């Protein structure tokens, strides 16, 4: 079975890992990508999505999306984690293609309406474009096959003690997305922080597939520097690829179901919590993972590249 996916992304080093995994997977067809602010600005996000598509030799439509959250003042880009151009110390990469004229949220709505019950949305950045799409055409919730989000977490935060970065960057958007009645799997820090790669893992894929793995190995050094200075260990969490691997390999995840809501102000802003509101739909929340299985799946897929 082929999964038709739209990746909503802020590339971003682990976004690049996720996009290469999806592009190389024989059962995934990336039918579009949409750029959003987060790790980088929306302009850089759209450009970097095209950089990644061209590097993996695929023609994928890319639409530019929101450059700021719906309500809160922007927190600022995460250049200290991903580098000023998104891929560590690499300078801006040139591209042949261009983003579509259509804004991201309209592209998402059009694609879902043209391919009803076929599209899986994979947001791996702040949820602003997805919330704007829901507000533009609320009927998309019933026409979307599934939504796999990298974001949130029930037991931990990363950018604050309580909040995960993608949700913290636009908590109001995330709350709109979790309030909608569609099939969401929230792949959060509960599982993504358990899937970790080391410099040796990236050296190996860099040597075996210089164009794809080599690009990741060059970009990830900056990410390793961040982890070394913040967590005292040279390595990294595989946040965004884990969300895509949850689509292709659900057997690696132990999933609970919870209604979810997002705290939108105060010290806990951006925290995802279990909701007691009976009107809220229940969503899937992986709470445990076969981390070795997911990591191996990622590394072996990249090694099918070039
Ligand atoms: C998430 O935040 C971003 O920095 C990463 O790309 C990932 O999507 C992890 O909290
Ligand atoms: Ca991301």
- Cβ proximity of 29 and 4 under 8 Å: yes
Residues 6+ positions from 279 with CB-CB distance below 8 Å? none
- Out of 105, 162, 172, 239, which one is annotated catalytic? 239
Q: Within the chain, where are the H helices?
A: 13-24, 42-55, 79-82, 104-114, 128-136, 140-143, 165-169, 171-179, 189-192, 199-208, 213-231, 239-248, 291-302
Give the pTM: 0.98
What is the per-residue pLDDT across 102-124, written as a single tens digit (0 to 9) for each? 999 999 999 999 999 999 999 99
Give pLDDT, residue 180. Answer: 98
Q: Region 161-188: what's the mean pLDDT? A: 98
β-bridge pairing 146-150 and 282-289:
unpaired
Rounded CA-CA distance 126/235 in Å is 24
Return the structure tokens found at 216.
């990741």
* Closest atom of ligand 1 relative to the 12 alpha carbon: 6
Listed residues: CB within 5 A of ion ligand 2: 10, 12, 15, 124-125, 240
Is 136 part of the annotated catalytic residue set? no
Pocket test for ligand 1, best of 8, 83, 149, 151 (most atoms within 8 A of CB): 151
Q: Which ligand is nearest to the CA of 82?
A: 1
Q: Region 202-216: what's the mean pLDDT? A: 98
The DSSP string of 200-266 is HHHHHHHHH-TTTHHHHHHHHHHHHHHHHHHHSSS-EE-HHHHHHHHHH-GGGEEEEEEEEEE--SS
Return the structure tokens found at 217.
């190995």
- Cβ proximity of 105 and 129 under 8 Å: yes
Cβ < 6 A, ligand 1 pocket: 12, 14-15, 39, 78, 81, 124-125, 150, 158, 164-166, 239-240
Q: Which residue puts its alpha carbon closest to atom 4 of ligand 1?
A: 39
What is the per-residue pLDDT across 258-287, written as a single tens digit (0 to 9) for each? 999 999 999 999 999 999 999 999 999 999
What is the per-residue pLDDT across 60-89, written as a single tens digit (0 to 9) for each? 999 999 999 999 999 999 999 999 999 999
């Amino acid at each position: 079975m082929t999964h038709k996916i739209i990746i909503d992304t802020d590339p971003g080093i682990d976004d690049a890992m996720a996009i290469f995994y999806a592009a190389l997977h024989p059962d995934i067809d990336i039918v579009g990508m949409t750029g959003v602010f987060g790790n980088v600005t929306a302009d850089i996000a759209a450009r970097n999505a095209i950089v990644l598509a061209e590097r993996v030799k695929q023609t994928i439509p890319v639409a530019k999306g929101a450059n700021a959250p719906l309500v809160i003042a922007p927190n600022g880009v995460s250049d200290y984690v991903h580098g000023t151009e998104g891929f560590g110390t690499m300078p801006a990469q040139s591209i042949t293609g261009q983003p579509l004229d259509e804004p991201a949220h309209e592209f998402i709505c059009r694609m879902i309406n043209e391919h009803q019950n076929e599209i899986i949305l994979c947001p791996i950045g702040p949820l602003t474009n997805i919330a704007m799409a829901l507000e533009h055409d609320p009927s998309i919730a019933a026409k979307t096959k599934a939504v796999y989000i990298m974001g949130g977490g029930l037991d931990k935060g990363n950018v604050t003690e309580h909040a995960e970065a993608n949700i913290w960057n636009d908590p109001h958007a995330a709350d709109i997305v979790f309030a909608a009645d569609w099939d969401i799997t929230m792949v959060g820090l509960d599982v993504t922080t358990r899937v970790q790669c080391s410099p040796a893992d990236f050296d190996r894929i860099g040597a075996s597939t210089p164009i794809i793995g080599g690009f990741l190995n060059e970009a990830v050094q900056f990410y390793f520097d961040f982890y070394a200075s913040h967590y005292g260990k040279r390595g990294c969490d595989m946040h965004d690829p884990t969300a895509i691997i949850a689509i292709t390999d659900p057997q690696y995840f132990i999933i609970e179901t919870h209604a979810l809501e997002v705290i939108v102000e105060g010290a806990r802003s951006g925290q995802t919590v279990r909701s007691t509101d009976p009107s809220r739909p229940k969503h899937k929340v992986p709470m445990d993972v076969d981390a070795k299985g997911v990591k191996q799946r990622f590394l072996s897929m990249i090694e099918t590249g070039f």
